Structure 1
Amino acid sequence: MRNIADNRLFNIILLFTIIGEFLVPWILEQFYAAYNGKTMVMSALGSPQSPVRFVYNLWLIWLGGFLTYTAGAYFLSLRARFPVLAVFMLLSIGIFAVGAGLISGFFSVNESKDIITTASKIHGVGAAIGFMALLFFPLLNGIVSFKQKDIMEGIISISSFVLSLIFFACFVMGDKEQFQNTIMKYEGLWERLTLFCLYIPFIYKTMSNLIF
């Protein structure tokens, strides 16, 4: 019996979900005049002030739900050969899915960081923990790939891990007042670049399963 992670339909949905992570915000920001994708985080699209908040928050719930399923699928595909790494990968993807997906979808951040509510605090903690958890996914996937003698996927995953750390550091610095007059101020850009690098191993795996 083939693993769920190798299933063609599963990989098609995962690939389109990852594409949607960037395409959906780009489409929605066209209907939100006050939104600037370069300097504002994607979560602002789901703020109470956003005219597209319902659609974006619904998207986050889908993202969180499907990535939770993905975390389970990857765990099941690896637990026989790499039980410890399988658990860590489950936690890495699963915590991101719940924190940056489901929790962020149900609890909205405000457009202005000066407005702090209980919902925005929950959103902030969930998203932050989720991001930090997913940062380990490319590293874990790289280790698994090298153990499976897939050198190409291993190199791609480790490179993605290094780049995501660099972009995440820029993303964090973009929130600091002392960097507001530097290139670091483009917080939204750094967030998207971080996510893109974190998703590269997913993209490689889905494309490999769909092509071969």
Structure 2
Amino acid sequence: MINKKESNKWFVFTLIICATDVILPFILGLFYPSYSHMNMVISALGSNNSPVRAVFNMWMIILGVSFILISIHLFNVYRTEKPIASVILLIITVVYAIFDCIVSGIFSVGESKEMTTISEMIHGYGSAIGCTAFVFSGIIAVIIIYKKKPRLGRILFVSFIVTFISFVIFVAGENIPTDAEGIFKIFKYEGLWQRISFIFMYVPYVVLGYKVN
């Protein structure tokens, strides 16, 4: 049984980790003059030519380990109420933590979208697996919390929809030419859509991190 004091500590820890991951790229971007938050993916901060590569890649490993710990905590909190959903959330989060965070921290992405080296391929495929799985953590969070707090569950469902739409636009943007016009211009801003999707991906963890009694 998780007591209130311990639950509050985990909530603060989860909030700090998620907030740091949202804010840190903007801080590191200040030391990478050619970096564009609107047009470039976050992992480009860890590319071979990035001046902040060491800091970013170390953070990704820390982020991965942190989310593994967070997922274990959430499993322990909700496994009695929602055993199947809790196991699924645990698996999804660990997959994200390993494939998108830890793997990304060890194997750097290239400057271009072309995966020409083994490191770039491991990073690319690992990130695709981890991020895709992470998108669906939001709907699992809805299942976990809806019965006890239906209004909060509806808010998390809206958060999941925003996550899903922004992630789809982000992925689709990889196939949109840079000179696209009209409505397709919004697809070009990969960095923007990736950041929006991650912000809303973190919302369920912050909500679940605060144990609702």
Q: How far did residue 199 of structure 1 move?
A: 1.0
Distance across 2 between alignment mates of 1:151 and 1:6: 25
Alignment RMSD: 2.0
Q: How far did residue 170 of structure 1 move?
A: 0.5
Supply the AA of the counterpart residue of 1:150: K
Distance across 2 between alignment mates of 1:92 and 1:199: 13
**Distance 1:192-1:111 versus aligned 2 partners, 3 A rule:** same
**Distance 1:19-1:25 versus aligned 2 partners, 3 A rule:** same
- 1:166 counterpart residue number: 165
CA contact (8 A) 1:179 1:185 kept: yes
Per-residue CA distance 1:110-136 (angstroms, 9 max, x = gap): 122236211111111111111111111
Which 10-residue stretch deviates more, 178-187 or 68-77?
Answer: 178-187
If the length of structure 1 is used for normalisation, what is the TM-score? 0.92
- 1:157 counterpart residue number: 156
- 2:51 counterpart residue number: 51
Supply the AA of the counterpart residue of 2:67: L
CA contact (8 A) 1:156 1:201 kept: no
Q: How far did residue 40 of structure 1 move?
A: 0.4
Alignment of 1:60-139 (within 5 A): 60-114=60-114, 116-139=116-139
Structure 2 residues without counterparts, runs of 5 or longer:
none
The reply on whether 1:197 has 2:200 as its aligned counterpart is yes
Q: How far did residue 204 of structure 1 move?
A: 2.9
Structure 1 residues without counterparts, runs of 5 or longer:
none
If the length of structure 2 is used for normalisation, what is the TM-score? 0.91
Query: Partner of 2:39: helix, strand, or coil?
Result: coil
CA contact (8 A) 2:86 2:144 kept: no
How many equivalent residue pairs?
A: 209
Distance across 2 between alignment mates of 1:117 and 1:193: 29
Distance across 2 between alignment mates of 1:50 and 1:3: 44
Supply the AA of the counterpart residue of 1:163: V
**Distance 1:146-1:115 versus aligned 2 partners, 3 A rule:** closer
CA contact (8 A) 2:176 2:187 kept: no
Per-residue CA distance 1:126-160 (angstroms, 9 max, x = gap): 1111111111111011111112x201220111111
Distance across 1 between alignment mates of 2:205 and 2:72: 14
Q: How far did residue 35 of structure 1 move?
A: 0.8
